[in-house]
Amino acid sequence: MTPAEQSAAARRICALAPIIPVIVVQQVTDAAPLARALVAGGLPALEVTLRTPCALEAIRAMADVEGGVVGAGTLLTPADVKAAKAAGARFGVSPGLTERLVKACEDEGLPLLPGAVTASEVMRAMEWGYDMLKFFPAGTSGGAAAIKALGGPLPQVRFCPTGGVSLANAPDYLALKNVACAGGSWVAPDAKVQAGDWAGIEALAREAAALPR
Ligand code: 3PG
């Protein structure tokens, strides 16, 4: 799958809802009910970060949830890409972009949403063929103003800002024409997951899904 094809798939995934939940699963038994709550609340695209020992198992459990499109986040190496694909991830997210990651996603056929924040990083991603990028870490990289400014010389690129995005500041990002959607962890807070408060998480998802863009 070429980078251009990967970005086309990533654009379709980013079009599903204004927010992609960024999820850290501590216990695999939480995975399916958490995914069901987020999907029921209107957030079908889910990013499970490969930061906990059970992350791949969680992706496997979530992949069966009806209506969900589960991806793997924090992809750093070709081995991560391979493992994510084998676990059933339908897309991948990386905080950055390396040649080895590009090659792995081409070989595995995994649509990648790679990270870039500077004009040079964005141009390098474009040289490979990517035009749908994660803007990470959004809050400390200039926020919505920076993305708006990048849209001047680089209007063909769309972004998914992630990192420091909240219900309060998401509208600033989503109002930009070069922002497709945003990523955020606030819709799946650890305390609510630990408490099994799936109704509470569904309510947070519903609120995020209603954000205008
Ligand atoms: C991350 O990789 O942890 C994401 O950027 C989530 O950031 P957030 O917790 O600020 O939403």
Mean pLDDT across 140-167: 98
Distance, in Å, from the CA atom of 139 to the CA atom of 184, rounded to the nearest integer, reads 11
Residue 179 DSSP one-character state: B
pLDDT in tens, 55-102: 999 999 999 999 999 999 999 999 999 999 999 999 999 999 999 999
CA of 126 to the centre of ligand 1 (A): 24
Whether 177 is catalytic is: no
pTM of the model: 0.97
Atom 9, ligand 1: which residue's CA is nearest?
185
Whether 134 is catalytic is: yes
Q: Using the atom order of ligand 1, give the atom closest to the CA of residue 183.
A: 11
Mean pLDDT across 128-142: 98
Distance, in Å, from the CA atom of 179 to the CA atom of 184, rounded to the nearest integer, reads 14
Q: How far apart are the first and last CA of the chain?
A: 29
- CA nearest to 38, candidates 196, 187, 191: 187
Q: How many CB atoms lie within 10 A of CB 175?
A: 12
**Mean pLDDT (the chain, rounded):** 98
| Contacts of residue 53, Cβ cutoff 8 Å, sequence gap at least 6 | none
Residue 30 confidence class, pLDDT cut points 50, 70, 90: very high
Tell me what pLDDT residue 117 has: 98
The H or E element spanning position 151 is: none
Q: Domains plus CATH for the chain?
A: 3-161+171-206 (3.20.20.70)
Residue 4 confidence class, pLDDT cut points 50, 70, 90: very high
Atom 6, ligand 1: which residue's CA is nearest?
163
Question: Taking the C-alpha atoms of 99, 18, 139 and 130 in order, what is their torsion angle to the nearest 10 degrees?
Answer: 20
pLDDT in tens, 37-50: 999 999 999 999 99
Mean pLDDT across 144-166: 98
Pocket of ligand 1 (CB under 6 A): 22, 136, 162-165, 184-185
Catalytic member of 85, 134, 192, 202:
134
Residue 143 confidence class, pLDDT cut points 50, 70, 90: very high
Residue 208 confidence class, pLDDT cut points 50, 70, 90: very high
Tell me what pLDDT residue 123 has: 98
Tell me what pLDDT residue 135 has: 98
Residue 167 confidence class, pLDDT cut points 50, 70, 90: very high
CA of 155 to the centre of ligand 1 (A): 25
CA of 89 to the centre of ligand 1 (A): 19
Q: Using the atom order of ligand 1, give the atom closest to the CA of residue 139.
A: 10
CA of 23 to the centre of ligand 1 (A): 9
